[in-house]
A and B are shown apart, each in its own frame.
Chain A
Amino acid sequence: AQSVTQLDSHVSVSEGTPVLLRCNYSSSYSPSLFWYVQHPNKGLQLLLKYTSAATLVKGINGFEAEFKKSETSFHLTKPSAHMSDAAEYFCVVSVYTGGFKTIFGAGTRLFVKA
């Protein structure tokens, strides 16, 4: 079965400190992996995607993620949090199981303290 687990429902950091949002996936097939961000009452915006070209993926706004097949993880990081990073973050897995299926993680709410 295919699944995606975001290990923290809430993460709180201080402005200027590193951010780590954790995502583990389960897939019998080679997955496509994405991180999206959603600010309150807004649509989802793509932060980055894993396309098998490189295991370390750089995205927008200073975010990056590392694909670790051995750990089935795709954690999202940023060296220094900004107040504007406060939002909901979704890890998304797309797999082929006779047809393509997109699976959303439950989301992680990031709080940034001044």
Chain B
Amino acid sequence: DTEVTQTPKHLVMGMTNKKSLKCEQHMGHRAMYWYKQKAKKPPELMFVYSYEKLSINESVPSRFSPECPNSSLLNLHLHALQPEDSALYLCASSQGQGVKDTEAFFGQGTRLTVV
């Protein structure tokens, strides 16, 4: 199984809502990532978990809250988002953070629209 599965595929939420994005992988990878991608732009790194511990937070606003319940799951909790947070949110995993020559496997993304 070389898949990273993200749910939901699409999400529309109001600015006062609380929602969560979910990501799952069963490749035994120990690093998992959240990226945000705006239209016609490359993905921007938000968070990195290494061995279930948060290792990188790229100065992301606190309305985004990541969680790694176990080595296979990664969540992104959303609260009080702004319309400019609308984007494609991508989850990825890799064998380990900083393992040379190892690639990341990406999920299909969650298309988030904040209204």
Main secondary structure of the interface of A (DSSP, over half): strand
**CB-contact partner of B106 in A43, A52, A105, under 8 A:** A43
> What is the 8 Å Cβ interface bit string for chain A, positions 29-44, against chain B (1 contact, 0 not)?
0001010100001111
Q: Are A105 and B101 in contact (CB under 8 A)?
A: no
Interface residue? A106 (CB, 8 A): yes
Q: How far is the CA of A33 from the CA of B103 in the complex (A)?
A: 9
What B residues does A105 contact at CB under 8 A? Answer: 42
Chain A count of residues within 8 A CB distance of the other chain: 22
**CB-contact partner of A42 in B40, B97, B108, under 8 A:** B108
Q: Quick one: given A42-B108, A43-B106, are A104 and B97 in contact (CB under 8 Å)?
A: no
In the complex, how many angstroms separate the beta carbon of B48 from the nearest chain A beta carbon? Answer: 9
Interface residue? B98 (CB, 8 A): yes
What B residues does A32 contact at CB under 8 A? Answer: 100-102
Residue of chain B at shortest CB distance from A30: B100
Q: Quick one: given A32-B100, A46-B103, A100-B97, are A107 and B41 in contact (CB under 8 Å)?
A: yes
Q: Are A104 and B106 in contact (CB under 8 A)?
A: no
Interface residue? B111 (CB, 8 A): yes
Please report which residues of chain A, range 72-107, place their CB below 8 angstroms from some CB of chain B when the two chains form the complex: 90, 94, 96, 99-100, 102, 104-107
Main secondary structure of the interface of B (DSSP, over half): loop
What A residues does B40 contact at CB under 8 A? Answer: 107
Q: Are B101 and A43 in contact (CB under 8 A)?
A: no
Q: How far is the CA of A57 from the CA of B102 in the complex (A)?
A: 15
Interface residue? A51 (CB, 8 A): yes
Q: Are A45 and B98 in contact (CB under 8 A)?
A: no
Q: Are A104 and B43 in contact (CB under 8 A)?
A: yes
Q: Are A43 and B108 in contact (CB under 8 A)?
A: yes
> What is the 8 Å Cβ interface bit string for chain B, positions 19-61, against chain A (1 contact, 0 not)?
0000000000000000000001111010000000000000000
Additional pairs, 4, CB under 8 Å, beyond known A42-B109, A107-B40? A41-B88, A41-B111, A46-B105, A102-B45
